[in-house]
Amino acid sequence: MNTLKKSARILVTGAGGFIGGHLVKYLRKKGYQNIRAIDIKPLKKWYQIDVNAENMVLNLDNLENCQLATKNIDEVYNLAANMGGMGFIERHKALCMLNVLINTNMLIAARESKVKRFFYASSACVYSLKKQMHVDIDGLKESAAYPAQPEDGYGWEKLFSERMCRHFMEDFALETKVARFHNVYGPFGEYRGGREKAPAALMRKVIEAKLTNQKTIEIWGDGLQSRTFMYIDDCVKGIDLIMHSNIKEPINLGTSELVTINQLVSIIEKVSQTNLTRTYNLNEPNGVRGRSSDNTLIKKYLNWEPSIPLKTGIRKTYQWIEKQITKK
């Protein structure tokens, strides 16, 4: 592992978002004091704020803002992106593609500022759709991204940005790390408004049904589509391990605990101590039939893989969302 001094100057972009906010908190707990946190949202809309960080509001579509962001920085964690769950990325393909401006300008600025390491948050959406057509899917190996047929819009942008990272490393000796996230969930994230992902959306629906004495829950798709879901604590630990490893290629960051959406709903119902009648809306976005993370490579490199049980993570997340809804 590549060690990093606690006095190192660290930049986290997308710090006002779900994963970025947790990453700042994680790095602070590890003893890093010089953290610059940047997001496009006004500070009052950040999910989490570390008052001891250098918090800045910047639009990183702009190269000059990226140059300002990376000034005197040793490590960059680039999590900034205009994104959301399947409902968002299927309906906003152009906005997702425009994320390429952020990573391109951040790479240019990082090179100019002589940044030592650059982390890019990619996605399992880069994987070929042809290899995700069955519910009982084998884990997706990193090589399954090619020949390329990724998720339209969001997946293409992520795959292109991965290549940008690779070529900046090859041509300019900027050390880049790329992790392909698989369905990250946890507290301090979106649970309503159109950008929420499946676990948070389903927990919100169960909580609202319970509070209003409803007996039904609507599920997008037929409920048989399968996924792996990674709790946020595993995600930020994985980011840290990958960033300070000798890994050169894009690598999966997700659990191998495969469940159907119906099984996910059952776990949420058990946590909430409720039982609802399910209705299925086949007209809403529901993504590929099956997606699972093959963790062979990450275990080989790190002797570690995300392993927090889904039931444990769902319980913690449910309690947080329930508290937010109850307060409102």
Q: CA–CA separation, 156 vs 169, rounded Å?
A: 20
CA atoms within 13 A on the CB side of 217: 27
Contact 103, 167 (CB under 8 A): no
Which residue in the list 154, 185, 231, 318 is annotated as catalytic? 154
Q: CA–CA separation, 165 vs 240, rounded Å?
A: 18
> Both tokens of residue 54?
């250098």
Q: CA–CA separation, 312 vs 56, rounded Å?
A: 34
Kindly report the number of other CB atoms within 10 A of residue 313's CB atom. 24
Give me the amino acid identity at 280. Y
Contact 196, 190 (CB under 8 A): yes
In a 10 Å sphere around its CB, with 0-12 CB exposed, 13-18 middle and 19+ buried, how is residue 224 labelled?
middle
Active site residue 154: yes
Contact 195, 92 (CB under 8 A): no
Active-site amino acid positions: 154
